[in-house]
Amino acid sequence: MEIEQRTNAGARLVPGEGAAGAATMRAAVQHRYGPPSVLAVSQVGRPEPGPGDVLVRVGAAAVHPGDYFVMTGEPFLLRLAFGLRRPRHGIPGRDLAGVVAAVGKDVTAFRVGDQVFGWSTAGSLAEYACVPADTLVSVPANLSVVDAAAVPTSALAALQALRRIANVQPGQAVLVTGASGGVGSFAVQIAQAFGAEVTGVCSTRNVDLVRSLGADHVVDYTTTDFTRTEKRYDVILDNVEAQPLAAVRRALTPTGVLIPNSGRGGRWLGPLGRIVTARVLSGVTRQHLKPFVSVEKRQDLLTLADLLTSGQVRSVIDRTYPLDEAADALRYVGAGHTRGKVVITI
């Protein structure tokens, strides 16, 4: 089956050799929704930057549960956004870091050779990606491309949940479930940077990791159920949703903020049922139940770059995979036991 798609820059992406003389690149490509085996690395046309775009030579691209959901096309609800019958963008992945290879005529913020990181809405598991300049930020000098690629989606979700949604204040008690995962590992550090008293929930094998990220307290969920202790939290960022909302609310102060943040759920609607329940419950309790969807804001990426530069936040890299093993990387992420982030090097 032929893939023909338009990148966010409007560049044409064609299979195989493309037009005579047209530049090509290697990319992980999927022609249909399905398990990781639908991914194959092949040669496709290299996108060309539009006036406001940057062509990035991708050095590293991180993958996260959202990329797994989009690859499988489940929950089916997401096909409304990503393509009903097959993925609109045949190249998976979103987060990237690399070197500027070319810039569009209107781009003044970056020059060829600059190291950048950010999002590509047209796929990042490829040698090149065209990205609007206003969704990129310079890689801090103290960061590798692998560390930088790990940041955009997960750290942004953590930052926006804690700052925009929960408005975390110094001294507040904040609990993070999935504290060893992509979002959680950043959330523990960001909450700590905001001056909160942070509790991370994780499994036994990850207790030392979560403590090393700055958690004041660690709850090992294999021995302790945080919803059944006396402790009450001002903010709970629930990245796992292993317990029902009613149980988690027991651990919340009477006016606390609970952010249900798991993308998992049924095959059709995913987390939608829980989101609706949370919204309805919010209307009848003084507790604030606030499911949210992160928004790709460059200003927030700049805030994260500052936190990374100052050393208050660091990326935790679980595994790296070469592009040829992109399917294995997504299989691993889909299993749900990631420690920090999984990054594909290109």
Ligand X SMILES: NC(=O)c1ccc[n+]([C@@H]2O[C@H](COP(=O)([O-])OP(=O)(O)OC[C@H]3O[C@@H](n4cnc5c(N)ncnc54)[C@H](OP(=O)(O)O)[C@@H]3O)[C@@H](O)[C@H]2O)c1
From candidates 10, 18, 263, 266, binder to ligand X by CB under 6 A: 263
Q: Which CB atom, from 30 or from 239, has the smaller least distance to ligand X?
A: 239
**Residue 338 lies near ligand X (rule: CB under 6 A):** yes
Sign, CA torsion 21/23/26/32: negative
Which residue sits closest to ligand X, CB atoms considered? 181
**Residue 72 lies near ligand X (rule: CB under 6 A):** no
**Residue 178 lies near ligand X (rule: CB under 6 A):** yes
Q: Which CB atom, from 36 or from 184, has the smaller least distance to ligand X?
A: 184
**Residue 315 lies near ligand X (rule: CB under 6 A):** no
**Residue 177 lies near ligand X (rule: CB under 6 A):** yes
Q: Which CB atom, from 38 or from 202, has the smaller least distance to ligand X?
A: 202
**Residue 260 lies near ligand X (rule: CB under 6 A):** no
**Residue 337 lies near ligand X (rule: CB under 6 A):** yes
**Distance from C-alpha of 291 to C-alpha of 258, rounded to nearest angstrom:** 8
Concatenating the DSSP letter of every residue in 66-111 gives HHHHHHHT-SGGGHHHH-SSS-SSSS---EEEEEEEEE-TT--S--
User: Considering the complex, what minimum distance in angstroms separates the CB of residue 30 from ligand X?
Assistant: 19
For 262, phi then psi, to 5°, come to -110, 130
Kindly identify the residues of this chain, within the stretch 100-139, that bind ligand X according to CB under 6 A.
none
User: Considering the complex, what minimum distance in angstroms separates the CB of residue 265 from ligand X?
Assistant: 9
CA dist list (Å): 223 to 147, 245, 337: 32, 20, 18
**Residue 189 lies near ligand X (rule: CB under 6 A):** no
User: Who's near 171: CB < 8 A, 6+ residues apart?
Assistant: 195, 196, 197
Q: Could you tell me how far CA 186 lies from the centroid of its own chain?
A: 11
**Distance from C-alpha of 272 to C-alpha of 284, rounded to nearest angstrom:** 19
From candidates 27, 157, 235, 313, binder to ligand X by CB under 6 A: 157
Q: Which CB atom, from 3 or from 183, has the smaller least distance to ligand X?
A: 183
* From 2-10, 131-139, 178-186, 305-313, span contacting ligand X (CB under 6 A): 178-186
User: Considering the complex, what minimum distance in angstroms separates the CB of residue 286 from ligand X?
Assistant: 23
Q: Assign residue 99 a region: left if phi > 0, alpha if psi is -120 to 50, beta otherwise?
A: beta
User: Considering the complex, what minimum distance in angstroms separates the CB of residue 94 from ligand X?
Assistant: 10
Copy the structure tokens of residue 135: 């969704």
**Distance from C-alpha of 119 to C-alpha of 93, rounded to nearest angstrom:** 9
Copy the structure tokens of residue 153: 């989606």
**Distance from C-alpha of 245 to C-alpha of 248, rounded to nearest angstrom:** 5
From candidates 202, 215, 301, 305, binder to ligand X by CB under 6 A: 202
**Residue 292 lies near ligand X (rule: CB under 6 A):** yes
Site string for ligand X, 49-68 (x = CB under 6 A): ---------------xxx--
Residue type, 165: I
3 state SS of 256 = strand
Length of the chain counted residue by residue: 346
Kindly identify the residues of this chain, within the stretch 209-238, that bind ligand X according to CB under 6 A.
221
* From 92-100, 127-135, 249-257, 334-342, span contacting ligand X (CB under 6 A): 334-342
Could you list the residues that contact ligand X (CB under 6 A)? 64-66, 153-154, 157, 177-178, 180-184, 201-203, 206, 221, 239-240, 242, 261-264, 292-294, 336-339
